[in-house]
Amino acid sequence: MTTNQINETVAADLKWLKTVMHEVTALSLQRCDAEFPWLANMPEKRHQIIGDVVRRGLQAYVNWCEDPAGRQSLIAEIFASAPRELSQALSLFQTLQLTQVVVATVEEAVAERSPELKEATLQFSRELAFAAAKVYAKVAEIRGLWDTRLEALIVDSIITGTAVGDVRSRSAALGWKGNGAVAVLAGTIAPQANLEQLRRATRKYGCDVLVGVQGNRLLLVFGQLQQQSLAAASEVFNALTQRVKHHFTADPLILGPTVSSIVHAQYSAKAALAALAVAAAVRDVSYPAAADALLPERAISGDELARETLLETIYLPLHRANGELLATLRSYLLNGSSLEQTSRDLYVHTNTVRYRLKRISELIECNPAKPRDAFMLRTALVLGDLYSAKEND
């Protein structure tokens, strides 16, 4: 066959291909709808977007056969006009599924007409698959950068307590799955910290996590996937803290109090960071530690949340219980934790003092006989006296 005859055959094949392409396009879309229920059930707008991309792809195939020199740019143009729309409507796997059906339809149409067209179809499909993968990789890269910025913004809002109303919607946009209780862990990031490993460990405990790195400080916002009581959630967060503590240095590591949801995470964060700020003044606490273990130092440093916590969890419950518990505790602490001196001061038997101290421990979960707890109780009584004096003014 002469060169002229070859050119004439190619020209005839291309002319034929253009005449049947409308029919091939319609058949391809019909087969896709029939084979993939998720496509047929898509909203009309998204379905139309996908149909437009398929039409552009088949037209590009015709142009690709017609102009071998411009093949690379033609492939790129298929997705260039709507990469974001396509990536939102379909996963990469679904895109490749559709590509297979469309290519198979084209192959059937050209198989008997021309071996050259069939070979061109196979080559085109390979190029198309690579182009699709490249588009999705780029979208994933952009989405990853956006997710990182959004996560940092959410953590910053939690720390500062600003734009609290946006925290829930922003975390939902990020894909936050924590529907239950929340707690914030704060410390110094270790050089060997692996954030992806940390995220995987968190998921094993039935939790989601937001990660914030600010200089050398690492903040983790834990959120349970399922709702539990605050007490049960606290146990999970304590265990999880032990699991991930190697991602932090040996410096103080503080777990904030457990709160009911991501909307209230600012209170856990505030407590954790306030505890970190006074950790240098504490000698009798081992880490990781609960933020509320440092309530006295926090209160002395001016932390209003700590003062409120001491009043609400220690002073006011004792004040409401009965006068003898508060009087016994005050005397016991003022007398250097001496049972005998307290009994003489109150004119009661030492066993009565023991009984009352036991009731105090049960009521507020704080043991006056322990030095650390005694310090916390003494601080709470001082704050309570100041509170009462202000109330009586």
The answer to whether 303 touches 383, Cβ cutoff 8 Å, is no
Confidence of residue 119 (pLDDT cuts 50, 70, 90): confident
Q: Work out the average pLDDT over 151-165.
A: 82
pLDDT at 258 over 90: yes
CA angle 298–300–302, rounded 5-degree value: 75
The pLDDT of residue 7: 43
Indicate if the alpha-carbon torsion angle 312, 316, 318, 322 is positive or negative: negative
Domains and CATH numbers, the chain: 3-142 (1.10.490), 164-291 (3.30.70.2730), 305-392 (1.10.10.2840)
Cβ neighbors of 116 (< 8 A, separation 6 or more) are: 10, 13
- The whole-angstrom separation of Cα 12 and Cα 1 is 15
The answer to whether 256 touches 269, Cβ cutoff 8 Å, is yes
Q: Work out the average pLDDT over 271-291.
A: 93
Please give the residue that has the higher pLDDT: either 37 or 276: 276
CA angle 226–88–85, rounded 5-degree value: 160
Find where tokens 């006056």 sit.
Answer: 368
Confidence of residue 379 (pLDDT cuts 50, 70, 90): very high
Q: 153, 155, 159: which is closest to 269 by C-alpha?
A: 159
Give me the chain's average pLDDT, please. Answer: 85
pTM of the predicted model as reported, rounded to 2 decimal places: 0.68
Please give the residue that has the higher pLDDT: either 284 or 254: 254
Burial of 6 (0-12, 13-18, 19+ CB in 10 A): exposed
Confidence of residue 109 (pLDDT cuts 50, 70, 90): confident
- The whole-angstrom separation of Cα 133 and Cα 337 is 72
Q: DSSP letter at 185?
A: E
The pLDDT of residue 3: 38
- The whole-angstrom separation of Cα 341 and Cα 1 is 120
- The whole-angstrom separation of Cα 277 and Cα 347 is 43
pLDDT at 141 over 80: no
| Tens digit of each residue's pLDDT (9 = 90 or more) over 292-307 | 999 999 999 999 999 9
Percent with pLDDT over 70 in the chain: 88
pLDDT at 4 over 50: no
Q: 337, 340, 334, 338: which is closest to 371 by C-alpha?
A: 337
Confidence of residue 63 (pLDDT cuts 50, 70, 90): confident
